[in-house]
Amino acid sequence: MRLLILVLVLLCNASTALAQADFSPLSLVGKWTTEARHPSGATIASNVVLTQNMRFSARSTVDGKPFVQFGGTWSVAGNLLTWRYETSSAMAPAPGTTDTDEIVSAEDSRLILRSKLSGKQHQYVRMR
């Protein structure tokens, strides 16, 4: 019985460690794109560039028409990606705003982030 309890405790600790994996910032560097359908039916596409000097730039379109451009700095701590907005062509995200996403997974060609603000999950594909 004690052995079973010990095994269960070890398994729980291992799954917690995996859920809180550290992600290397270098694995996120590159150009990423995502696309989603708004409830209105409009297609929202975003391109994000993450650089080695920890800066980012992004632009979003709605049905192919420019919507917003923004940029700033980014950092990774454990499984959290923090965005610090310095510029924006629209009211939101406002310069000075900080936003955090949970890194669900980061692979060579795919990045999945979950917004801490909205709880929504977004899949990004690495652009070549």
Burial class (CB in 10 A: 0-12, 13-18, 19+), 4: exposed
What pLDDT shows up at residue 6?
31
| C-alpha torsion angle, residues 76, 81, 85, 89 (rounded to 10) | 130
Q: 118: which DSSP letter?
A: T
As given in the structure block, the two tokens for residue 81 are 């990606």
> Out of 1-5, 31-35, 43-47, which region has the weakest mean confidence (pLDDT)?
1-5
CA pair distance 126, 59, nearest whole angstrom: 15
pTM over cut 0.85: no
d(Cα 16, Cα 10) in Å, to the nearest integer? 10
pLDDT of residue 78: 96
Of the two residues 34 and 4, the one the predictor is more confident about is 34
Whether 111 shows a pLDDT value over 80: the answer reads yes
All structural domains of the chain, each given as residue ranges with its CATH number in brackets, are: 23-126 (2.40.128.280)
Give residue-wise pLDDT tens across range 13-36: 444 344 457 999 999 999 999 999
Give the residue among 120, 81, 119 at the shortest CA–CA distance from 99.
81
